[in-house]
Amino acid sequence: MPSWNFITNHGAILIIVSQQRKITAREISQQLGITERAVLRIVADLDDAGYITRTRQGRTNTYIVNQELPLPGPLLKDIAVGDLLDILETSSPGSK
């Protein structure tokens, strides 16, 4: 098994919050094996870029993914976030 991933931590967090709208940074950090501080930084990046909207509810945030935005970068700029999430959802184990 390689030591690298196809999906960046930014992409992984976007996938997680699209599937679990109410999740804590601690829970995300445990799923990905990165620090809570790194999760908070990435969530802020995604929020600042408009890929997610977060609303504070008690001790957790509720996340909404903006599925209409194009993926970042020149190679994938014609693909919407929602299209990628749909592909990953139908390809994940147990989704069929």
Task: Give the CA distances from residue 74 to residues 12, 35, 84, 95, in Å, rounded to whole numbers and listed in that order.
Answer: 20, 29, 15, 30
Global pTM value: 0.87
pLDDT less than 70: residues of the chain: 90-96
Domains of the chain: 9-90 (1.10.10.10)
- Residues whose CB falls within 8 Å of the CB of residue 57, separated by 6 or more in sequence, listed in order: 22
pLDDT for res 92: 58
Return the percentage of the chain with pLDDT > 70, whole number: 93
